[in-house]
Amino acid sequence: MKKVVLLSVFVFFAIASFAQNVNWVERNGALKVVDGKILNSKNIQPQLRGISLSWSIWEGKKYYNQDVVNWLQSDFNISLLRVSMAVQPDGGYLQNPVEQEELVTRTIDAAVKKNLYVLIDWHDHHANEHLDQSKMFFAKMAKRYAGKPNIIYEIFNEPEKITWQAVKDYAVQVIAEIRKYDTENIIVVGSPHWDQDIDVAAKDPIKGFSNIAYSFHFYASEPSHQEILMKRADEAISSGLPVFVTEWGVGEANGDGKFDVEKTDKWFSWMEENKLSWANWNITDKKETTALLVPGASPKGKWKPEMLTPAGKYIKKQLRKLNK
Active-site residues, by number, are 158, 247
Q: Point out which residues pair with 280 in neighbouring strands.
A: 51, 248
Q: Tell which residue, 150, 121, 125, 126, has the closest CA to residue 138.
A: 121
Q: Please, what is the end-to-end C-alpha distance for the chain in angstroms?
A: 32
Q: Tell which residue, 22, 20, 28, 61, has the closest CA to residue 44.
A: 28
Residues 6+ positions from 91 with CB-CB distance below 8 Å: 57, 58
Taking the CA atoms of 112, 118, 124 and 129 in sequence, report the sign of the dihedral they define: positive
Residues 6+ positions from 176 with CB-CB distance below 8 Å: 209
Grouping H, G, I as helix, E, B as strand and the rest as coil, residue 43 is: coil
d(CA 198, CA 242): 10
Helices (H), the chain: 2-19, 24-28, 66-71, 97-113, 131-145, 164-179, 192-195, 198-203, 227-238, 261-273, 310-322
Q: Are 24 and 115 in contact (CB under 8 A)?
A: yes
d(CA 14, CA 144): 36
Q: Exposed e or buried b for every residue in 227-245, given b needs 16+ CB within 10 A? A: eebeebbbebbeeebbbbb
Residue 275, sorted as left (phi over 0), alpha (psi -120 to 50) or beta, turns out to be: left
Integer CA distances (angstroms), 122 to 39, 149, 195, 221, 323, in order = 23, 19, 14, 25, 26
